[in-house]
Structures are given as C-alpha cells and as structure tokens.
Amino acid sequence: MKKLRLLALFLLPALAIQAQEQLGIRLSNYGGINSTLLNPAYHTTTPFTWEVNLLEGAGHFSNDYAFLRNTRLPDLMKDPAQLDFEFGPDLPPGSLEQDGVIAVDFFRGRNRRQVLGLGSILGPSFYVQVAENHRIGLITRARGMLSGRGIADPFNYYDYDSRPFFDPFPVDPFRGAFAGWTEVGINYAYQAEVANGTVAVGATLKMLQAYEGAYLRNASIFQLQKVPNDSLGGSPIDFSFGYTTSNLRDGDYQAERNGGGLAADLGFVYTSYSQNGAPYDWKFGVSLIDIGRLTYRRNASEHVVQTTAPLIIGTSEYQSFQAPDEFEEYIQFFSEQTLGDSAASFSGPSFAIWLPSALSLQVDKSLGGPFFVGAAFTQGFPLGPGALQRGSHLALAPRVETRWAEASLPISVYDWEELRVGMALRLAFFTVGTSHLGSILRRSDLNTADFYFAVKVTPFQLFGKGDRGYSRKDGKFRSGRKGRVQCYDF
C-alpha cells in the first residue's frame, strides 16, 4: 500500500477525465440541438422547424496506466457493493484470478500516461426556426471533468517500482485540473444560400456557475529520484495549484456555488446540393468550442511553490492522510517542507480554470438514400495555467439514417493510441450508444468504459416540397408550404 500511496501522490494531479464526443448523436442530421455541442451551426441541416431535448446523459472513463484483468463493464454494474479487488503485481506470474475477484494491474512499455473521462447531463434544451434563415435555441447542461496530460514514462508502476535509489529521471511540465459546473447557453444560427449550396454560421453564448474545482501545474522540467526511507529528492520545482474548500470537511457532499464565468462556442457549416435525391452531397464544418473560463472567488485558495535549491521530501507523513478535512494541514506541511514556512505558498483567495477549449473539424458525405459517412477531428488546447484539456480525437462514423430509425458505427482513435469501435442506435425519439462496444460485449483487460443516451421530442412533420430548409425528397433548399409524414406503423 505504501507503493500505491507514493505513486498516487504524484499521479493523481495528472489524472484526466475527458469527454469522448458522443458522435453517434452529434454527426446525425437528426442530432438537432444536441449536435450544437460540437458545432453551434450543425443543426441547420436537421429537417425540423423545432426540437426539444428532454434529457441526454453521457459518461466516459478510460486510461492507459491501469486496467482490470479479464473484465467487462456489465461485470462491474451487476452488484457493485459485492465487488472484491486484488493487487495484480502481488499475484504470481501467470496466475488466474479467483472467482468473484477482479485483479487491478498496470500497463507496461507505453510512454506518457493519460486518464480520460466525462460526466455530462444535457437537461431541457430546444431550438426553433424563426422566419426563413434563423434558428434560436436554449441549452441547459451540468458537467464534471478532470483533465491532465503527460505523465512521464518513469512513473509507470513497474518502471518506478524497480528503479534503484539515487537514479534521477526528468519530469516534464504537466498540468491537471478538475471542475464541476453548470451552464445555460443561448444558441443562434443563420443559414443562407450560395451558388451551389448553403452556408451557416452559429454561436452559443454560455453563462457558467462554478461549484467544485482544483488544478495543478508543473511549469518546468525538474529531476526526481527515489531516496531511502520513503523520501524523494529533486532539483528546484515551479508548481502552482488551486482548490476549493467548500467540501473539505466531514459529512455528506453538498453542492455549493463558488464562482462563475462566461464561455462561447463558434461554428461554420457549408453544405453542397445533391443531384441524387439526398438532402445534400457534402457537408463541411469547423468550430471552436468551450472558449471561456470558470473563476472561483468563494471558498478558494491558490498556492505557488517555486524553489531555487535541491529538495529532499519525506513522503511517509502523507501516508497517514485519513479525511478531506486534513487536506489543508498537508498543504501547509508541504509548504513548510519546500519553502520553510507553512504559509509561504499561499498566493490568494481565488483562482481560474479554463474550459476544455478545442478546435473541431467535421465532414459528412451522403452516399445516396439513407446512407451517410461522417468524420470529425477534435484537437484540444489549454488557454491558461489552470485548464481542463482535451486531447486529439479522430473518428469515422458510417451510418444508416431515416426519420424513425438510425444506426451508426463510430470508429475512433484518441491521442493516436488505441483504436475503438462504438455503436449508436436511435429509435424514434430515443438514442443509446457507446464509443467502446468491446468493453460491454467481451471480457478483456478493461481500461475504458463509455455510454450515452438521449431522449427528445420532435414534430411529426418534415420539410415538404416548399419548406425552408432541405427537402428530404430532392435535397433542394427552399421555403413554402409544409408537408407531413405519417406516423410510423410499428
């Protein structure tokens, strides 16, 4: 357990929870208001004059540091209270796990470690078409994320455990952050015809309410080495970190607003007309998403630790940590160890965390009839010292799409490491999907779990021959009398 605590001391700040993009919903022409979370103009090809999202939920977790041997997601969900775990490195090589016991083990031979995931709930949200060229909408959403990038290879469990004393290794700059917040956004999109298609521009302006948050940033390369007696030695460090204190006490968790902020999404979409009866031939989109930040002004504390001399830090004292209300005592103790004064690291009663800002590119091709293939590339970039951060996400999503049913098969790569195959199914107003189908269907070394769903209401009415928008009959963009489709006969 001492080994685990020692590793956790350095690895936990750089764990990341980050969203996969729920592309089974976002790239669909029936994605509607939900698709504006990827591009605020992408819903302009949705063939409805209005739409209401009742509820969308998304959860994602993946990492390339540790895994559960011979496990699948349903095994964890069957009876969570009865789960029993054991420590994989303590088991004899090649040994099998006991029935009902799950072994936790660690990857070998990879470079920088990442942990990725998300918790998101899209509440009541809608859009409505106004006049011929305009769509306005409202988005309500609650989100929780933990993000971090770039754990150095020497921190791999087996590498670190076998490393000899006084063998220094470099630790590159890294950052990590956690935040929980809600957002209310106003969406507006304008669409106009051009020579061979249409162009649309959209924006979502969001008001944020910040609850819990924390960040850690290592701004420079430093040397680290194992030292006897549960100690670490290192060259000078340049750390900054901040955290909220509203739940650093015994008792049940209570959501408490500790700040707020503003953010915006911006998007552009071009669609080219089709000559084969499809709603369009090609669709191209580009967007900037989550441009903004959370500022914590209540129950907040920020610290800076900049040293000029080599350090020797004993870690045994930190192994007695028992409860959240002890956290600030350990921060003071760390300040005493590194700066010689328990109050020297404190820099102010507020801090900021930037949202997981990203550039996203989308391409969609109609193959004729109900067949489409879409693709998206999203690249995150941090905007400040404290920042949630997306990685790179490339996905290809072929799909069969009709008014009442849809099936999509997203194939994605995150940070150019692991290929994952997902699936999304829609029946009328209900969608369910995952970006990693294998974690549900087969037992393996489980390091990824992903699931999302959406329930929405749309009219029993599509654009007809003269409606403003894309006709489902010939793909032309025009306005006029509304046509009706019959309710599907199940």
User: Is residue 199 a part of any domain in this protein?
Assistant: yes
| pLDDT band of 376, cuts 50, 70, 90 | very high
Most confident of 110-114, 233-237, 429-433, 460-464: 429-433
Query: At residue 154, does pLDDT exceed 90?
Result: no
Q: What is the pLDDT of residue 314?
A: 79
Is pLDDT larger for residue 157 or for residue 133? 133
Query: At residue 286, does pLDDT exceed 70?
Result: yes
Tell me what the mean pLDDT of segment 223-238 comes to: 86
Q: Give the helix ranges, DSSP H, for 367-417.
A: none
Nearest to 15 by CA among 114, 122, 160: 114
Report the C-alpha gap between 338 and 307 in whole angstroms: 7
Q: What is the pLDDT of residue 251?
A: 64
Query: At residue 363, does pLDDT exceed 60?
Result: yes
Report the C-alpha gap between 248 and 250 in whole angstroms: 7
305-327 tens-digit pLDDT: 999 888 888 777 777 777 787 88
| pLDDT band of 24, cuts 50, 70, 90 | confident
In this structure, are residues 126 and 137 in contact, taking their beta carbons and an 8 Å threshold? yes
Q: What is the pLDDT of residue 448?
A: 80
User: Is residue 204 a part of any domain in this protein?
Assistant: yes
Q: How many domains does the chain have?
A: 1
User: Is residue 77 a part of any domain in this protein?
Assistant: no
Report the C-alpha gap between 378 and 356 in whole angstroms: 11
User: Is residue 102 a part of any domain in this protein?
Assistant: no
User: Is residue 235 a part of any domain in this protein?
Assistant: yes
Report the C-alpha gap between 101 and 477 in whole angstroms: 59
Tell me what the mean pLDDT of segment 186-202 comes to: 95
Task: Name the least confident of 18-32, 278-292, 338-352, 367-381.
Answer: 18-32
End-to-end CA distance of the chain: 57
Tokens found for residue 433: 């999907």
Structural domain for 343, as ranges: 2-65+107-473
Whole-number mean pLDDT of the chain?
A: 83
425-478 tens-digit pLDDT: 999 999 999 888 878 888 888 888 888 999 999 887 655 444 444 444 444 444
Q: What is the pLDDT of residue 41?
A: 97
User: Is residue 79 a part of any domain in this protein?
Assistant: no
Q: Whose structure tokens read 């936790």?
A: 104
How many other C-beta atoms are found inside a 10 Å radius of the C-beta of residue 451?
A: 19
Report the C-alpha gap between 437 and 451 in whole angstroms: 9
User: Is residue 465 a part of any domain in this protein?
Assistant: yes
394-440 tens-digit pLDDT: 999 999 999 899 999 999 888 787 788 999 999 999 999 988 887 88
Nearest to 61 by CA among 455, 442, 436, 425: 436
In this structure, are residues 22 and 42 in contact, taking their beta carbons and an 8 Å threshold? no
In this structure, are residues 186 and 205 in contact, taking their beta carbons and an 8 Å threshold? yes
Q: What is the pLDDT of residue 112?
A: 57
Q: What is the pLDDT of residue 5?
A: 39
Widest CA span in the chain:
81
Report the C-alpha gap between 235 and 168 in whole angstroms: 10
Would the pTM count as exceeding 0.75?
A: yes
The values of phi and psi at residue 121, to 5°, are: -130, 120
Report the C-alpha gap between 149 and 84 in whole angstroms: 30
How many other C-beta atoms are found inside a 10 Å radius of the C-beta of residue 30?
A: 23
Q: What is the pLDDT of residue 357?
A: 95
Nearest to 293 by CA among 264, 321, 336, 273: 264
Q: What is the pLDDT of residue 287?
A: 97
Nearest to 85 by CA among 97, 74, 94, 93: 97
User: Is residue 438 a part of any domain in this protein?
Assistant: yes
Query: At residue 189, does pLDDT exceed 90?
Result: yes
